[in-house]
Each structure stands twice: as C-alpha cells, then as structure tokens.
Chain A
Amino acid sequence: MAKTKPKKPGAKTGLLLRLYVAGNAPNSLRAVANATAICEEYLTARYELEVIDLLKHPNRALADGIIVTPTLLRLRPLPVQRVIGNLSDTNQVLLTLAGQ
C-alpha cells in the first residue's frame, strides 16, 4: 500500500493524519475508503493522509504505539488523537479529528 497520499503536498501546518492498516484485510480496506471519503468531503483546510501497512512496517506501528488496526492517528495538531476501527462512524471520526 502506498506510503503517503498527500492531498495538498508541502504543507507543514495543516492536518496530519496517519492510518495504520493490515494489508487488504476487510476492515482495513473499509477504513482507507472511509478516511479518504471523510477527508475529501469534510476537510476544507490542508491535510495530509498517510496510510501505513502494519504488515510491512511493524516497527513504525510499534513506534506509534499501535495495538490494533485499523487505527487512525491525528498527529497534527497536537495532542495526538486516535480513532480505532474501520471509521464507519463519520461523526465520531470528525469529532476526534476536531478534538483538543
């Protein structure tokens, strides 16, 4: 799976998201689709969405403290926020992304 999918490349100030998935597992595929859709539909500001395959990069997952996939991390702005699961609950995803 592609490492990064910068929607608006070069931005260092926008929203930084990182989605951990496990290969082509069903919930992972769903999570990627949901994340992309939510970003395109709701995020007007600049954002960057990085998708990382746990199976290829287990150490990065460990470094990010990932226990299960799919997990979506909001790395910027701080504090780091996490959404766990396949991201089918759009409201919850948006709430977390907007969280302080």
Chain B
Amino acid sequence: MRDGRLYLDGVSVVFDGFRALNNLSLIVEPGELRAIIGPNGAGKTTMMDIITGKTRPTAGTVSFGDRDLTRLDEATIANLGIGRKFQKPTVFDALTVFENLELALKAPRDPWSCLRWRLSGTARRCIEAVLEEIGLAERADHRAAILSHGQRQWLEIGMLLMQDPKLLLVDEPVAGMTDQETEHTAALLRRIAGSRSVVVVEHDLEFVRALGEKVTVLCEGSVLSEGSIDHVQNDPRVVDVYLGR
C-alpha cells in the first residue's frame, strides 16, 4: 500500500444502538486536499475520531499507509504523521503563542527529552516561519488566552504544521470567522496541501468552493456523493438532504 494513503473501508460506529457511521468508505491519496461536507450529525467529527484513535470502530478497516489505525493509541497515531485540528479550537491558554507552537514542534516527546530540550536556531526559525504563515508573528509572546476566535483557529492549524504531518485533519476551521479570515484560511490550506494530504470538514460552501478540490458529502454516517463542488451541488440526493434545506 502506498505511503501516507488514508484508507477507510466499511467503517461503522455504533453508540448505544445509534449508528454514527454506517459502512463508510473513503480514500484520501497522499498530497490530496479533500473537503467533507454534510448536515449536522452526519458523522464528520466521528470519522476524525476514528482516524485519530479517539473512538474505535465497531466494524471496518482504517489504515494509513500500511499501519492499521484501529490498533494504535492517540499519541502513536499522531507520531505516524496524522495531525488534527478540533472542531472546538483547543490551544493551551496558559502558554504563549510561541510556546504552543514549540510544544507541537516535531521533536522527541518523552519526558526526559522534554526536560533536556533547548530551542535551537533551526527550531526557532521553523517556529517563526509558521508564525508568519498563520499571521501571528506579532502575537508570539502573548498568552493564547487573549487570542480572538479566528486567531485560535490559526494557531491550531499552526500547531498542526509544526508536527510536520503527512495528513492533516481539519474540523470546521472557518466556523465563526469573518469573510476575510475565511479567505485567508482557504489560501492557507491550499498552500499546505500538495506536500501533504489535508482533509477539511466544513459547513461553509463558499469556503469549500474556494478550496476548489474534490468534495465528499456525508449523510447519516455514509458517503452520499463525491466529486467536484459543482457535481455534488447538482446531485439531487445532496440537494434533498443538505443544500435544499
């Protein structure tokens, strides 16, 4: 199997009899940027929980490259190169923006190495480059607690970048953002894809259009439609359950 290919086949998740994912199959190729849309409760976040080891599937195959993700814990999966931005942005409020990125920076993660850690020039430049990329260079020494909602989202994306992941899972990055911030975020994600795969979950169709890539529509835990944004927007089933509301 190819390196860095995300492969979900026949995945189901049942919570107390409720099927959050129902025989879901999805392949994301290395370097691909994929948008995932779907109504509330479609199972988008649950899908990310499955990939990152937070939730175990009731049935089905989940693999990344040749690794079976259903057997690994969160930290191991993260270290395989799968980074995640949560729907609700969680950055570390007590730390500065710079320190948040430093924690995410790819480096040995055991307690002893963390104790011995010294910020090298290369590491500093790496963090500064990401600070520029996410537009937070001015805020480097501020505690994350004071960031605006949009800035927190970017900081989370920045933390993903620091991990130098092969696959980024981004859950609703533009919720609550202004139009301008949304555009900025779309551009940021487009820049990131290419060298790595990116899966973006989003409700905002303008944003998905701005990404300009393949779209998967999820509904009731399985794939309803897949293709370009124009294709799915004209798919009558999609219009029915999602866009038509």
Is B truly associated with A? no
